[in-house]
Amino acid sequence: MSAIRYELIKTDKQTGARLGILHTPHGSYETPMFMPVGTLATVKTMSPEELKEIGAGVILSNTYHLWLRPGHDIVKEAGGLHQFMNWDQAILTDSGGFQVFSLSEFRKIEEEGVHFRNHLNGDKLFLSPEISMEVQNALGSDIMMAFDECPPYPAEYDYMKKSVERTSRWAERCLKAHKRPKDQGLFGIVQGGEYEDLRKQSAEDLVSLDFPGYAVGGLSVGEPKETMNRMLEFTTPLLPADKPRYLMGVGSPDSLIDGAIRGIDMFDCVLPTRIARNGTVMTSSGRLVVKNAKYARDFCPLDEHCDCYTCRNYSRAYIRHLIHTNEILGFRLCTYHNLHFLIQLMERVRQAIREDCLMDFREQFFEQYGFNKPNAKNF
Amino acid sequence: MSAIRYELIKTDKQTGARLGILHTPHGSYETPMFMPVGTLATVKTMSPEELKEIGAGVILSNTYHLWLRPGHDIVKEAGGLHQFMNWDQAILTDSGGFQVFSLSEFRKIEEEGVHFRNHLNGDKLFLSPEISMEVQNALGSDIMMAFDECPPYPAEYDYMKKSVERTSRWAERCLKAHKRPKDQGLFGIVQGGEYEDLRKQSAEDLVSLDFPGYAVGGLSVGEPKETMNRMLEFTTPLLPADKPRYLMGVGSPDSLIDGAIRGIDMFDCVLPTRIARNGTVMTSSGRLVVKNAKYARDFCPLDEHCDCYTCRNYSRAYIRHLIHTNEILGFRLCTYHNLHFLIQLMERVRQAIREDCLMDFREQFFEQYGFNKPNAKNF
């Protein structure tokens, strides 16, 4: 019996989007869902109570970052990541693979693993499927991710083919090295870039290993949105219907809806928290850069249709002042609002699936948000 | 009828410390009390709800800073500072005088006011009693402070005498320029440095103007603590018993107790919030620099005798990790704890006054905190 179980409730008649429940050792959560990112064992600026207030379910934390600081041994000594950070709901940890490829330098990929240099101080480091599993077992996350190779975008076919094959071999090693399958569910990651046959090969390899969940990796790395959607349409049907599907690193409102339409159940992204700290927020009528001078005397809430703590109590003028003067409360208020916005969006997506009208909802949302406009500002 | 009224409840038999109630247009608060500082219309890192949770009463905000950013006109347009920052309890604003002397450059003091340069961009500015009143009237604080000259420490007798006389003339101009005496109480500020006869002259001048409250200024500017205590002992008896007394810019635990012993009712200081953001906290057994590596594996709370949110839920190891990685939640947790510590301390001071045992409490607190040790680390 795996630590993670997915229960399919219903499928939207317009699109094939799935309404489901993800059962974890730390609670059950409705899908499709968005997972806020807490890289260093904290969702930047937010307290656990605030996360619960906005209805956050699963949060994500980064294995690579925690491995370096404070070190997985310290987190383990604290009783695991949940206890360390005072979060009693579910946690997903990534494998460190993406950070090795995006943050570190001088990396050298071998069959055994990856040699690279620490992004903080340049120290030599080595990460492998076995080490990633050891670290994630120490962290004690509910959902662990297999250690994969994240190829650059774009990548040549031959490179991608070798990479996909290595990722499959590494996935098998991850399964073998995983010491706590009863407490933690390990997800495989389908790679293959823009190549359909490699996506297929990757999906088949991983499905044959019978993971309790599957991620689609290597998307949202610079390719056009159409490519992402096409690859999702191709890939998700290759994955078993009774397992959850996770699209990694995607968090713009349009992509969440378009991913759900293509059968994705889980999303994560630093987008809402990152742009918040720069004074940019998502509203029902589109992106708003509250930091701009034009909001200095605007005493309306960030979003007049929003009932979150920020919008109930503070004006654009006040938040603009806080961001402008680098005040932490400003970062808090924008982060709170953005996470609330995406979590509410997913609740509306689920409601649309319940009512078999997700395409209608998409149309309406895109229109209101301004995604349909030519030259629409996106993220 | 003044906007501010002080009600003396009782005097401690051991010391003459006062238990009282400060009545303001936004609520009544027991004294002696500590007021957290919210320089830019936010107590750094804290939400209004968190401030109330720890029992904060009056908070302070800085006229000079708000004058520059966002501008008092914008705050007024928002409906005043309370509404702008979502704080329905009392607010005290300083006059800007101290910031002009501590932050700005090229200042030139004239009878009319002070010419100086903006600390942000070097722009030429001019502040006077009339302008300070205009700005504070626009902010709408419950307690306003008279615009005074803050002389350097140490200052020659002749300089100080002229400064005290000018401050008295400016105080009179402030009273005249103050447009909202029914909504906002204006406090005078006794200056005079270390010179008893000048303190006496300043106190007499101001008392004759009949302010609804008095501050003791020009202390905690670099002089030995003994000097501060001596000047307080000399000055407070010169002030009317039926008016509140406010010691500006003082917030270390020993000075709060020693000030209360000498008849001070109100204190403010950036100390608890500033040191928090550097990972330093106040605990019942003294100062603790949680940022230090030795706390990396310390899973105890910051203070085992504290029941605040931070201490109930987080370990030193976790907070050390957050501060070490510059995570905002770390600044929040330390700030919360430090403000809670000082507000609790004042509650204990008031209880000791009620029980006529403030000197005994002082002895016990100093012993436990380590203030009695030779070479005790202080702030």
Nearest-angstrom CA–CA distance, B167 and B201: 11
What would the pLDDT profile of A126-184 be if each residue is shown by its tens digit?
999 999 999 999 999 999 999 999 998 899 999 999 999 999 999 999 999 999 999 99
**Average of pLDDT values for A59-73?**
98
What would the pLDDT profile of A92-109 be if each residue is shown by its tens digit?
999 999 998 888 778 899
Nearest-angstrom CA–CA distance, B341 and B36: 12
SS3 breakdown of chain A: % helix, strand, coil, rounded to 5? Answer: 40, 20, 40
Confirm or deny that B98 is annotated as ligand binding.
Answer: yes
For the packed helices A328-354 and A253-261, what is the interaxial angle rounded to 10 degrees? 30
Judged against a pLDDT cut of 90, whether residue A342 lies above it is answered with: yes
Q: Quote the pLDDT of residue B375.
A: 62
Q: Quote the pLDDT of residue A69.
A: 97
**A325, B86: Cβ pair inside 8 Å?**
no
Helices (H), chain B: 48-53, 63-68, 72-77, 81-85, 97-102, 129-139, 157-177, 196-209, 225-235, 253-261, 271-276, 309-313, 316-324, 328-354, 358-369
Residues of B acting as catalytic residues: 94, 268
**B70, A321: Cβ pair inside 8 Å?**
yes
Q: Which residues of A fall within a CB distance of 8 Å from B318? A: 41, 78, 84-86
With beta carbons less than 8 A apart as the criterion, state whether B349 and B256 touch.
Answer: yes
- Cα distances (Å, whole numbers) of residue A105 to A312, B179, B325, B367: 45, 64, 21, 53
Q: Quote the pLDDT of residue A374.
A: 66
**Average of pLDDT values for B362-367?**
97
Confirm or deny that A98 is annotated as ligand binding.
Answer: yes
**B329, A42: Cβ pair inside 8 Å?**
yes
Confirm or deny that B263 is annotated as ligand binding.
Answer: no
How many residues appear in chain A?
379
Nearest-angstrom CA–CA distance, A342 and A271: 10
Nearest chain B residue (CA) to A277: B328
Q: Quote the pLDDT of residue A175.
A: 98
What would the pLDDT profile of A294-340 be if each residue is shown by its tens digit?
999 999 999 999 999 999 999 999 999 999 999 999 999 999 999 99
Q: Is B83 exposed, middle or buried (CB count within 10 Å of its CB: 0-12, 13-18, 19+)?
A: middle
Nearest chain B residue (CA) to A70: B321
Q: Which residues of A fall within a CB distance of 8 Å from B70? A: 296, 317, 320-321, 324
Rg (CA), chain B: 20
Phi-psi region of B193 (alpha: psi -120 to 50; beta: other; left: phi over 0): left
- Nearest chain B Cα distance for residue A35, angstroms: 19
Place A375 in a pLDDT band, splitting at 50, 70 and 90: low
| Mean pLDDT over the full length of chain A | 96
Q: Which residues of B fall within a CB distance of 8 Å from A330? A: 42
What would the pLDDT profile of A203-253 be if each residue is shown by its tens digit?
999 999 999 999 999 999 999 999 999 999 999 999 999 999 999 999 999
Q: Quote the pLDDT of residue B371.
A: 87
Q: Is the pTM of this model over 0.90?
A: yes
- Cα distances (Å, whole numbers) of residue A59 to A55, A109, B113, B189, B213: 11, 30, 56, 52, 51
With beta carbons less than 8 A apart as the criterion, state whether B164 and B235 touch.
Answer: no
